[in-house]
Chain A
Amino acid sequence: MIDNNISAMCKPAPGEAGKTGDWRDMRPVIDHTKCTPYVKNKPACFLCWLYCPEGVIRDTIPVEIDLDYCKGCGICAEECPMGAIAMVAEGKQDG
């Protein structure tokens, strides 16, 4: 029986590095009325999904961001050609 702790390793899994959503100062908020896939109802653009370094954006219609793990880096907002994503300060109130 081989010790599964014989050497250091881990399997890629959501949350392997903890609940990284806690780390955020700023939160991405999508205005779907400006987002290309939503407006055209076509699987198009998805640049936010492509650029997200954490892999927490889903290429669905509408696009979804998993805020449990989003670190709030703001790259999606920076890259969105339609300006549909706004970075909003984390605070007591939503938005």
Chain B
Amino acid sequence: MYEVIWHGRGGQGVVVASQILAESAYLQGFKGVTSAPTFGPERRGAPVTASTRISTLPVRTFAQINHADCAVVLDPTLLKSVDIRDTVQKEGLIIINAPVLSDHFKAMHRCERIAVVDAVRIALIHHLTHEGAPIVNTPLLGAFARATGLVSLECLEMGLRGKLSKAVASANIAALRAAYDDTDLMLEEDLKEDDRQ
């Protein structure tokens, strides 16, 4: 079973992203998928999480995830207020929406695998905004596909089409693809380079 935890702020679409991932994974052929929001009240701007479980067999657990295989961070400022690293397993994957691969992330990479994508830039290029704020959840789904290889872009596109209206689906799919291409998967070379300095 592969477990994903989504970190964002109320209103950023962590629940929808988590649901689309579950649907796409089902289309990919995984028989067991679940998606759950943080249980409780939903407050705009407050740190929130959602989770996705993906398994070849039907899922029979509903408990909260202690240490996920992968954490997706929609808002990098959460790294200061939430112990994101504590929510993933050792050597787990953390996908972060951030403009650059900072030294901080490189340092993190010694414990976890880090992938970075500039989801804000991609959202703005594709005119994906909601009430003035860039929509970053769909680009991060693209980054997830790239970083994990678990779910194909095709299945994610089908999942998006199932969830979104025709009017916005194409822009979202374009952003999904762009994020897939632009995701910076930190490689061993990056680390070695870092060590030389």
Direct contact of A and B (CB under 8 A): no
A residues bordering B, Cβ < 8 Å?
Answer: none
